[in-house]
């Protein structure tokens, strides 16, 4: 048992090197352990799209989806995840001198605090959309809870797109939200992720979340176990997801002009039935909440069916 625990702590506490990199044309900024990538609007477009990825994802998740969009694009990374963008086209990283984050790193609240500051200080468009995937959906809703006067402002209404999202009073897939299963998952995550850091394509494609797939989805998902700088952060992420789901009430839906909840035909990561039930409760709180049920999709709708998401803007 001591050997097992020592091995677990070895993986949990390691400062993990970066494996996957990509190119991005635009500005890179950093506040605390959070990276922000900004691409300016083209053709005088007045829209701004701000995206936040899910658990074990980085900003690359949205790159292909918005490559041809003229909107100002702002991608915000999970705190303490590697910045995926390197190369000559990226300028030097700009350090932002913003307010100290009062929330623990790795929590939904921590990321929402900075997302609110991004909206407040960096967004230039008149029509603003927040796109959050999975855990990023909870970050978007939590931003509304922390900055209601900002996200519900009449002079610049903000619309939210919650893709396969973590939602109030919902659950993770299977028994993942049950106390014992949750504890076991959090304990063994560092070991499992450590042994999967360089997962092979063959092994990846056997995972339930990979059905259906395509070359882009497969390529991005190969990095899911290596995007974080520390597996301790991943443990905190999972703990925060379950705690946020349990503690957050349906009033969280009130703080946006409109919210579109996009659900996959099936979901291998989150419990679809409880997600749908939460969204229905959200409609009672906010007439602007709508639910879009997709077909032939799983948890990664932007990668599996990108035109469905693009049609929402």
Return d(Cα 178, Cα 142) in angstroms, integer.
23
Note whether 225 and 196 are within 8 A (CB): yes
CA proximity to 214, closest of 131, 126, 117, 296 = 296
Return d(Cα 127, Cα 227) in angstroms, integer.
31
Give the helix/strand (H/E) hosting 263.
strand 258-263
pLDDT for position 74 = 98
What is the domain-level CATH number for residue 206? 3.40.50.1820
Note whether 301 and 309 are within 8 A (CB): yes
Note whether 48 and 123 are within 8 A (CB): yes
pLDDT by residue, tens only, the chain of 313 residues? 999 999 999 999 999 999 998 989 999 999 999 999 999 999 999 999 999 999 999 999 999 999 999 999 999 999 999 999 975 556 689 999 999 999 999 999 999 999 999 999 999 999 999 999 999 999 999 999 999 999 999 888 899 999 999 999 999 999 999 999 999 999 999 999 999 999 999 999 999 999 999 999 999 999 999 999 999 999 999 999 999 999 999 999 999 999 999 999 999 999 999 999 999 999 999 999 999 999 999 999 999 999 999 999 8
pLDDT for position 88 = 53
Beta strand residue intervals within 10-87, DSSP E = 27-31, 34-39, 47-52, 72-76
Tell me the pTM: 0.97
Q: Is 169 helix (H, G, I), strand (E, B) or coil?
A: coil
Residues 6+ apart with CB under 8 A from 129: 47, 48, 49, 50, 71, 158, 159, 160, 161, 313
pLDDT for position 154 = 87
Which domain range does residue 284 map to? 2-310
- Domain count across the chain: 1
């Amino acid at each position: 048992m001591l050997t097992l625990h020592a091995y677990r702590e070895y993986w949990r506490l390691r400062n993990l090197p970066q494996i996957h990199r990509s190119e991005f044309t635009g500005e890179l900024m950093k506040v605390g352990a959070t990276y922000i990538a900004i691409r300016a609007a083209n053709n005088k477009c007045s829209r701004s799209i701000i995206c936040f990825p899910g658990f074990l994802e980085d900003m690359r998740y949205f790159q292909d989806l918005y490559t041809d969009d003229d909107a100002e694009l702002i991608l915000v990374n999970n705190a303490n995840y590697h910045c995926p963008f390197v190369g000559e086209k990226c300028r030097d990283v700009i350090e932002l001198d913003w307010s100290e984050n009062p929330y623990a790193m790795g929590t939904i609240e921590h990321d929402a605090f900075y997302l609110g500051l991004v909206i407040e200080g960096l967004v230039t468009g008149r029509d603003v959309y927040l796109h959050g995937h999975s855990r990023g959906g909870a970050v978007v809703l939590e931003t509304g809870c922390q900055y209601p006067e900002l996200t519900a402002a009449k002079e610049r209404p903000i619309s939210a797109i919650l893709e396969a999202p973590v939602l109030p009073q919902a659950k993770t897939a299977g028994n993942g939200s049950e106390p014992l299963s949750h504890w076991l998952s959090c304990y063994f995550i560092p070991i499992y992720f450590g042994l999967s850091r360089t997962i092979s394509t063959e092994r990846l494609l056997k995972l339930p979340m990979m059905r259906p797939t395509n070359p882009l989805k497969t390529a991005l998902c190969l990095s899911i176990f290596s995007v974080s700088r520390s597996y301790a952060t991943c443990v905190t992420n999972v703990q925060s997801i379950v705690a946020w789901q349990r503690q957050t009430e349906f009033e969280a839906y009130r703080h946006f002009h409109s919210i579109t909840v996009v659900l996959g035909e099936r979901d291998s990561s989150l419990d679809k039935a409880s997600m749908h039930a939460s969204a229905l409760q959200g409609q009672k709180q906010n007439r602007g909440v709508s639910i879009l049920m997709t077909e032939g999709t799983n948890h990664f709708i932007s990668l599996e069916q990108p035109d469905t998401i693009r049609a929402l803007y």
